[in-house]
Structure 1
């Protein structure tokens, strides 16, 4: 299943579940601060991926150092 957002993001249900686990409360609610934080992070990740996907193949290859820098950022 692919979930689309009006902001232009398309994510699968596994990614949506990770977002819920990280940002939602026990009642599955995301407060405004969490929503903004999530939106900024997802947008940043899409932009970084697009920059690294130089062949527009939908796949990238990272070494450990690159992965750590992206994950920490």
Structure 2
């Protein structure tokens, strides 16, 4: 988690980097609590899809289900820890992709090396 928010890659968070991370955690916690509609302390597939959308990750059904499948436990639900891990990973992917989408078209063109950097980043 720290690595993804360590913008200057010093191996530790500066105060502004820490504030950014802390604000994101609080934001994601509010999304999690809001979409845990059955108050179980976990999220099912439907709740997760709504939470992803509210968090700004507008994904199609197939991608939402793939992400949910990656982060769910043996009871097919996502706890807060796994939800945070998912949010950090998506935040890193989206941020990196925005760097490559220079014109804001929602499409990127990258080399294999660039793709590998994003894939291994997460």
TM range (shorter): 0.7 to 0.9
Q: How many residues align?
A: 72
Q: 2:76 aligns with which of 11, 28, 48?
A: 28
Q: 1:44 aligns with which of 92, 104, 108?
A: 92
2:81 and 2:53 map into 1 onto residues whose CA distance is: 18
Output one character per residue of 1:22-71: Cα deviation in whole Å (capped at 9) or x when no partner: 11123221122111000111111111111110011111111111111110
TM-score normalised by structure 1 residue count: 0.84
Stretches of 4+ moved more than 3 A in 1? Answer: none
Return the structure number with greater strand share.
Answer: 1
TM-score normalised by structure 2 residue count: 0.53
Structure with more relative contact order (C-alpha pairs < 8 Å, separation 6 or more): 2
CA RMSD of aligned residues (A): 1.8
Give the Å deviation of 1:11: 0.9
1:23 and 1:56 map into 2 onto residues whose CA distance is: 29
Q: Which ranges of structure 1 fall in alignment gaps of 5 or more residues?
A: none
Higher-Rg member (1/2): 2
